[in-house]
Chains A and B, each alone.
Chain A
Amino acid sequence: EPEVTQTPSHQVTQMGQEVILRCVPISNHLYFYWYRQILGQKVEFLVSFYNNEISEKSEIFDDQFSVERPDGSNFTLKIRSTKLEDSAMYFCASSDVGRGANVLTFGAGSRLTVL
């Protein structure tokens, strides 16, 4: 069964450092997403990406965040200058349709720890 893969599974970084989280969505999917889950809390939407541009973003997704699809397979989330409160599990997801009908397939997540 096709799956979304994420790397790294766990990253530890110092506050103020840049971090790039990588995702390989399912190959025939067109919509890509990043979600965040702070430990013990709900899953929160960060950003959706379609046709090589951001289609929607939440208030969490401020100027320190950016996303990119540098080639035909990878979808990356960059955090420019990490803060302690960025420590969370970051989930990438993809879907073949957009809007409410989208059934998201999630990756296993990347755990980010900011010290």
Chain B
Amino acid sequence: AQTVTQSQPEMSVQEAETVTLSCTYDTSESNYYLFWYKQPPSRQMILVIRQEAYKQQNATENRFSVNFQKAAKSFSLKISDSQLGDTAMYFCAFGGDNNNDMRFGAGTRLTVKP
């Protein structure tokens, strides 16, 4: 079974600084997808970024980028130029090609300080 581990329950960063959130996962599948979702205080789950495991190039979306290390089964999220609106819970998630259930990590609560 796939597991997703986020080892940082809470993190904080100063506005305009860069922060990296860690995620590791375990799977025996060769093809899969990894996601970062953001959950602001409104509680809605919002997709931040997505990475296909077969792609070597790290995904980027504006200020958000990932460092995908397939051999190490690591998928960290880097947020550059942090903004107050980035304050949220961030969930790492795994989607395998053999099933329909997306597995989530326990989340990292990020606070951006002014």
| Interface set of A (CB-CB < 8 Å, partner B) | 31, 33, 41-45, 48, 50, 55-56, 58, 89, 91, 93, 98-109, 111
Could you tell me if A42 and B102 are in contact, using CB atoms closer than 8 angstroms?
Answer: no
Given contacts A42-B106, A43-B91, A103-B50, contact A56 B45 (CB under 8 A): no
- B32 is an interface residue with CB less than 8 A from chain A: yes
Could you tell me if A102 and B100 are in contact, using CB atoms closer than 8 angstroms?
Answer: yes
- Report the tally of A-B residue pairs with Cβ distances under 8 A: 73
In the assembled complex, the Cα of A48 lies from the Cα of B31 at a distance in Å of 20
Find A50's partner among B29, B32, B33, B100 (CB 8 Å cutoff): B100
In the assembled complex, the Cα of A56 lies from the Cα of B46 at a distance in Å of 23
Could you tell me if B95 and A55 are in contact, using CB atoms closer than 8 angstroms?
Answer: no
Classify chain B: how many residues form its interface, as a range. Answer: 20 to 34
Could you tell me if B106 and A108 are in contact, using CB atoms closer than 8 angstroms?
Answer: no
Given contacts A99-B96, A101-B33, contact A91 B45 (CB under 8 A): yes
B residues 39-84 touching A (CB-CB < 8 Å) = 42-47, 50, 52
Known: A100-B96, A107-B44. 12 other contacts (CB 8 A): A43-B91, A43-B93, A44-B104, A55-B100, A89-B43, A99-B96, A99-B98, A102-B102, A104-B45, A104-B102, A106-B44, A108-B43
Could you tell me if A45 and B102 are in contact, using CB atoms closer than 8 angstroms?
Answer: yes
Given contacts A43-B104, A48-B101, A55-B100, contact A99 B95 (CB under 8 A): yes
CB distance from A112 to the nearest CB of B (A): 13
A-B contact pairs, 10 of them (CB 8 A): A55-B100, A56-B100, A56-B101, A100-B98, A102-B100, A102-B102, A104-B47, A106-B46, A108-B44, A109-B45
